[in-house]
Structure formats: C-alpha cells, structure tokens
Amino acid sequence: MTCAELTINKLKEKYTDDRKLDVAFICYNASMWDSLESVYLLAEEMWNVEVVCPFYMSGKSIKSDVYDMPSGVRCSTALVKEHYDIIFNNNPYDDRNLVTRLQTDYWNTSLAEKCDTLVMIPYFCNPNEVEENIVLSNGYLVADLVIVDSEKVREYCCDVLHKFFLERGRDLDFHEKIFAFGSPKYDKIDNDIFFELPKEWNDIIADRKVILLNTSLKPFLQNPNKINDIRYVLNRFKNNSEYVVLWRPHPLMISTIENLRPNQINDYLDIVEWVKETKCAIYDDSSDLYRAIVLSDLMISDESSLIYIYEKTNKPINMLDDFIKEKNLKF
C-alpha cells in the first residue's frame, strides 16, 4: 500500500462515521507540495478539503506560494474555518526556522489548537536517519500522528521522544503516534509523471543527455567552498557535446544565503545570472521537482533527501564531493 493509503486508513480507524470531515492541508512552499499531494488526492474524494499556502518570510520579503501551486489545486492564503477535524502539515520547525518563518497562526502549536487531529508529514525524506533536533521540534512534539520513512526511523523517533518526556517525569510510549508509512514523495515517483518541456529547455538540451545538478542547503552552509564546486560542474559541461547540466538548487537557497551567508550572495547570484544569460546550462527554480527527475539521465548531488527519491528511478547518482575530487562521472 502507498503512504497515502496507509495514512488515510489509520485516520479512518479514528473517524468511523460516514460524515464528511473538515480537513486542511498546510503547505507554505509550493515545491514541497509533493510531501502532501498523494494524501490530499485521496482525502478530497471523501472529505471537505481545503489547501492553505500561508504567508511566510522569504529573505527580506513576505510572500505566499499560493499562485505557484499546481493548477488543479485550489488554495488560499488563510484557513477558513475556526476548527477542523484533521490538519495536515509538512513543516515541523515553527520558531526554529530562521530563514522562512511562517506566521505564528500556522505554527504547529497553533494548528494543534485548531483541530482534533494534527498530522505531521515532513517535507523531507530519509529512510536511514533523522536528526534529534528535528524529532524534538514542535511538529513532532505536538502532532497527534507523525509519518516517517522507515521502521528504523520510527524506532529512533520513539526513543528520542520517550527519553525527552521521561526526563520531565512522563513515561510515554509513542508507537501509536509515529508510523513508518513511507512518504508521499515516494508515492509520486512511483506514478507516471507528465510534463511539458519549455521550448527554451529543448533548444538547450538538443540531443544531449541531461545531468541533474542538485545543490541543497546544509552542505552549502557547512562547506565554504561549495560555491566553487558549483562553478566547477557548470564550467566542466558548458560546451560539452554529450551532456548538459540542469541545475536545480534548493528552493530556499537564495533566502538562506541572504540570511545566513550574506557575504556569498553576490557571488551566488552572479553564477545564476551567468547560467541564465549564456544558456550553457538550465537553471530550474520552478516548483516542479519531478520534471527534472524524469527529464534527467543521471544526477550529481550533495547530501540531500532528493537522493532517496532519485534512487527509485534506478538512474546513476554521483555525489558532488566525490565528483569534484575525481573529476569524473560514474555509471
């Protein structure tokens, strides 16, 4: 069964009547909609469903991704009802997010008061591990149901939460709160994905193979030379007759650099503009991650949850640090 089916079935165990439940999905960033989409598609067949893209801080501005969501998803910037049976959320951080902070009305602590059941389905995926600070974020602490990738991660989360509350005098078991159902991201990659290729992309690609260059936040912040690694890959293939690079940075990359590495923002934006102007590669800052996955023939990536999605395509993956070191692609 899919993550969506397992999640909906678990909720049906609690809501056994036939009434149409009032349900809301909170997704502040359109590129993260894939972490909720398959559950939404099942829920809207049965219940009264609304989707909300609340306003959030993005760098120095306030924005909402309501107009960047898929065309078939009707959504607004604010919850309509005072109370819901179920609210799904994919952002666990609340006040710990210093870069793209939501309005306090859409923190998990507030959402928990607006519904009978708060379901946390994280926007990231990793079947091998999750960091302790994430498990101790508000999303995991206050949600009634938390969906994780694997039994290994489930047991770790249960242990971390048990220890946390035991130190505060409460001996609690979390196995009826945290479930290893996978991720809606895996549901999506297992389905047929259709997209329209922009003409400009088609002209750049021609008959070449496509390398998906994936750069994420944490490795960028940890490695002061990461910006040079990006330059190296783009320069390496700028006039290559066999390959073309499709560079897809994390959707919050610019906001993160502006806030946490402001001394690098000009250098980073110079690279972005160079790619756009010279058309030596494709710069993809759209909300459609899966177009890039399907279109590409292989991926060069730093540590990222995208790796676990891309693995399911059985296409080659090259780690960015290894590629830079060896200066060669592995197939």
Q: What is the pLDDT of residue 327?
A: 77
Rounded Cα distance, 209 and 47, in Å = 44
Q: What is the pLDDT of residue 296?
A: 96
Q: What is the pTM of this model?
A: 0.89
CATH, domain 199-326, list 3.40.50.261, 1.10.10.60, 3.40.50.720, 3.40.50.2000 = 3.40.50.2000
Residue 167, helix vs strand vs coil: coil
Helix (H) or strand (E) run with residue 88 in it: strand 84-89
| For the chain, percent of residues with pLDDT exceeding 90 | 80
171-191 average pLDDT score: 95
Which pLDDT band holds residue 100 (cuts at 50, 70, 90)?
confident
- Owner of token pair 């160079």: 274
Sort strands 84-89 and 115-120 into parallel, antiparallel or unpaired.
parallel
Q: Do domains 3-189 and 199-326 have the same CATH topology?
A: yes
In single-letter form, the type of residue at position 164 comes to: F
Backbone angles phi, psi at 283, to 5 degrees: -100, 120
Q: Which two tokens stand for residue 34?
A: 């894939």
In single-letter form, the type of residue at position 91 comes to: N
CA 133 to chain centre: 18
Among the residue ranges 30-39, 186-195, 269-278, the one predicted with the least confidence is 186-195
Q: What is the pLDDT of residue 59?
A: 67
Q: What is the pLDDT of residue 241?
A: 92
Q: What is the pLDDT of residue 187?
A: 94
37-92: pLDDT as tens digits: 999 999 999 999 999 999 998 767 889 999 999 988 999 999 999 999 999 999 99
136-174: pLDDT as tens digits: 999 999 999 999 999 999 999 999 999 999 999 999 999
Q: What is the DSSP letter of 251?
A: T
Q: Are 24 and 30 in contact (CB under 8 A)?
A: no
Q: What is the pLDDT of residue 133?
A: 95
Residue-wise DSSP of 86-122: EEEE----GGG-SSSPBPGGGSHHHHGGGEEEEEE--
Which pLDDT band holds residue 328 (cuts at 50, 70, 90)?
confident
Residue 48: is it exposed, middle or buried by C-beta count within 10 angstroms (0-12/13-18/19+)? Answer: middle
- Domain positions in the chain are 3-189, 199-326
Instruction: Tally Cβ neighbours within 10 Å of residue 166.
Output: 11
Q: Are 42 and 6 in contact (CB under 8 A)?
A: no
For 164-302, strand residue ranges (E) read 178-180, 209-215, 243-249, 282-283, 298-301
Q: Are 313 and 246 in contact (CB under 8 A)?
A: no
286-296: pLDDT as tens digits: 888 999 999 99
Q: Are 25 and 76 in contact (CB under 8 A)?
A: no
Residue 33, helix vs strand vs coil: helix
Name which of 114, 161, 172, 162 is nearest 138 in CA terms. 161
Q: Are 111 and 82 in contact (CB under 8 A)?
A: no
Q: Helix crossing, 265-278 with 226-236: angle to 10°?
A: 10
Name which of 199, 131, 127, 124 is nearest 160 in CA terms. 131
Comparing 330 with 256, which gets the higher pLDDT? 256
Distance of CA 54 to CAs 41, 95, 303, Å?
Answer: 20, 15, 29
Instruction: Tally Cβ neighbours within 10 Å of residue 159.
Output: 13
User: Which CATH architecture does the domain made up of 3-189 adopt?
Assistant: 3-Layer(aba) Sandwich (3.40)
Rounded Cα distance, 36 and 27, in Å = 8
Comparing 223 with 33, which gets the higher pLDDT? 33
- Which residues, 6+ apart, have CB-to-CB distance to 227 below 8 Å? 220, 264, 267, 268, 271
